[in-house]
Amino acid sequence: MALRMLASRPDPALYTLPWALPLEEWPDDVVVPLARGLSRHVVRIVRVRGNIYAVKETQADIARREYNMLRELQRLGLPTVVAKSVVTGRKDRDGNDLNAALMTDHLTYSLPYRALFERGLAADRLPSLIDALVVLLVRLHLAGFYWGDVSLSNVLFVRDAAGFAAYLVDAETGELKAELSDRLREYDLEVAYQNIYGELLDLQASESLPEAFPIDAIVERLQDRYKALWRELTEEQVFSAEEMWHIEQRIERLHDLGFDVEELDITTSEDGDTVALRPRVVELGHHRRELRTLTGLDVQDAQARRILNDISAYRATRELGDQPIEVAASRWLREIYEPIVAMRPPGAAAKLTPAQMFHEILEHRWVLSQFAGEWVKLINAAESYYEDVIAHRPDEAVTPPPED
């Protein structure tokens, strides 16, 4: 059987990869020495004409199923890696069959959880990873996706202001349904509990976590945070017909969590005395969409929220309160954000996204101001950050975007 490639936006250069070799034997001139998570399959990160892909060997039917599942999740706007290609019909030089391969785009600036700890992530930051995984799991469940293998190993993490955003990597065991039953949601939570408990024990054994680290509390946090977020996003709320302000209050709470309400189910009792309110369609990205509308910047949601706060502060200090927010945002972009980003030293683009660096500069400014006993200018904080902080950070992108 001849080599066959099913691909979205096919790149002819993919045919030049050494498909006649088992993946574990691919040469160093193809493989990128990039951190990758644990997997039951052989996985390699490869470079093709400047593009970075993850390649996983598996059975042909499993590869095709996962490829289609990832594309469907992408179509639904969910945070997953992007399926690139399925390669079947592979044979070695002796004519023996080789496993099929699934290719996905490498998620720039993302890292597996183990790599984060290897790069010095403090143990007290672990709750941020759990919180990111909870948001991902809730979003998947709202869309009707049953994961079946929830774990830290099946996720990539991207820095998002003081926390992280989580992206699904492995959809091999997943199923997409019209609506997910409570039983399947609970099963996913139980699988998450068991898998993550084991992963944290492994981190402890490798001395990435202190021996006395409260693993039980962390996995319980996963379940507690999941249930609280699911309740806020889906629970029916009943109130008096004279208290319609509860509708706006519920929407504002969801906005604070970063979610937009796309559809509400509002019903009144037969006597008209009470009202029942339940969100029907919610979508994460409220702050991200608002910032993109105002400035054109496309960043993670927590980063967007921090930047929106900085725009509000800029608007107040420049006495632009009587001007439309669009005017203040445009001036902030031109006078604050773009000059600070332009100050990045050579090579800094490989370390963090501009939005993450801007967030960290704001944090750095606060620390410097505390020591100085007075408010440090942003440009001085940026100079200090670029010289004393970012210069010593490891790269988190193999092929970063071109310098601005």
- 364 and 384 Cβ atoms separated by less than 8 Å: yes
* Domain membership flag for residue 404: no
Q: What mean pLDDT is predicted for residues 56-64?
A: 95
Same-domain pairing of 325 and 369: yes
Buried b (16+ CB within 10 A) or exposed e, 126-163: bebbbbbbbbbbbbbbbbebbbbbbbbbbbbbbbbbeb
Cβ burial of 48 (10 Å; 0-12, 13-18, 19+) is middle
Q: For the whole model, what pTM was predicted?
A: 0.90
Write b or e for each residue in 305-331: b if 16 or more Cβ atoms lie within 10 A of its Cβ, otherwise e. Answer: bbbbebbeebbeeeebeeeebeebbbb
The answer to whether residue 400 is domain-embedded is: no
**Within this chain, do residues 241 and 295 fall inside the same structural domain, yes or no?**
no
Residue 399 forms part of a structural domain: no
Residue 397 placed within a domain: no
Grade residue 401 by pLDDT with cuts at 50, 70 and 90: very low
Among the residue ranges 63-67, 100-104, 200-204, 398-402, the one predicted with the least confidence is 398-402
Is 403 within the bounds of a domain?
Answer: no
Percent of the chain with pLDDT over 90: 69
What confidence tier does 404 reach under pLDDT thresholds 50, 70, 90?
very low
Mean pLDDT of 56-62: 94
Helices (H), 177-300: 182-205, 215-234, 245-256, 286-295
| Per-residue pLDDT reduced to its tens digit, 362-387 | 999 999 999 999 999 999 999 999 99
| Whether residue 363 sits in one domain with residue 311 | yes
Question: Residue holding tokens 């504002």?
Answer: 252
154 with 139, same domain: the answer is yes
Q: For position 73, which CATH number holds?
A: 3.30.200
Query: What's the pLDDT band for 399 if we cut at 50, 70, 90?
Result: low
Tell me if 378 sits within 8 A of 361, measured CB to CB: yes
Q: Is 404 helix (H, G, I), strand (E, B) or coil?
A: coil
The boundaries of the domain holding residue 212 are 111-234
Q: Give the torsion sign (CA, 300, 302, 305, 309).
A: negative
CATH number at residue 220: 1.10.510.10
> 175 in a domain, yes or no?
yes
8 A C-beta contact, residue 196 and residue 219: yes
Average pLDDT taken over every residue of the chain: 91
At 86, is the secondary structure helix, strand, or coil?
strand
Q: Is the pLDDT of residue 21 over 50?
A: yes
Instruction: Provide the pLDDT confidence category of residue 395 given band limits of 50, 70 and 90.
Output: confident
Give CA–CA dist 51/45, Å, rounded: 10
Tokens of 335: 């006078």
Domain termination site, one of 52, 78, 106: 106
- Find the mean pLDDT for residues 183-192: 97
**Residue 13 above 90 pLDDT?**
no
Mean pLDDT, residues 343-353 taken together: 92
332 and 290, same structural domain?
yes
How many independent structural domains does the chain possess? 4
Claim to verify: residue 221 and residue 304 sit in the same structural domain: no
Q: With bands split at pLDDT 50, 70 and 90, how would you rate the model's confidence at 232?
A: very high
What percent of the chain lies above the pLDDT cut of 70? 97
226 in a structural domain: yes
pLDDT tens digits for 80-93? 999 999 999 999 98
Q: DSSP 3-state assignment of 403?
A: coil
Residue 209 lies in a domain: yes
Which residue in 121, 147, 123 sits closest to 136, CA to CA?
Answer: 147
Do residues 185 and 267 share a domain?
A: no
Residue 1's pLDDT is: 52
Same domain? For 247 and 320 the reply is no
Q: For residue 394, which amino acid is it? A: P
Residues 127 and 78 in one domain: no
- Tell me: pLDDT of 398 over 70: no
Please state the rounded mean pLDDT for residues 10-35.
87
What distance in Å separates the CA atoms of residue 73 and residue 76, rounded to the nearest whole number? 5
For residues 142 and 223, membership in a common domain is answered with: yes
Whether 265 has a pLDDT exceeding 80, the answer reads: yes
Q: Please report the pLDDT score of residue 272 as a whole number.
A: 79
CB atoms within 10 A of CB 179: 9
Q: What is the pLDDT of residues 290-329, one digit of tens each?
A: 999 999 999 999 999 999 999 999 999 988 888 899 999 9
- 3 confidence band (pLDDT: 50, 70, 90): confident
pLDDT in tens, 249-263: 988 998 888 998 888
Tell me, yes or no, whether 260 and 168 share the same domain. Answer: no
Instruction: Provide the pLDDT for residue 400.
Output: 47
115 plus 228 within the same structural domain: yes
Find the mean pLDDT for residues 116-125: 89
d(CA 382, CA 357): 9
Q: Which residue has the higher pLDDT, 91 or 11?
A: 91
Q: pLDDT tens digit string along 286-295?
A: 999 999 999 9
For residue 85 the two structure tokens come to 């290609």
Over the stretch 268-284, which tens digit does the pLDDT of each residue have?
A: 888 878 888 898 888 89
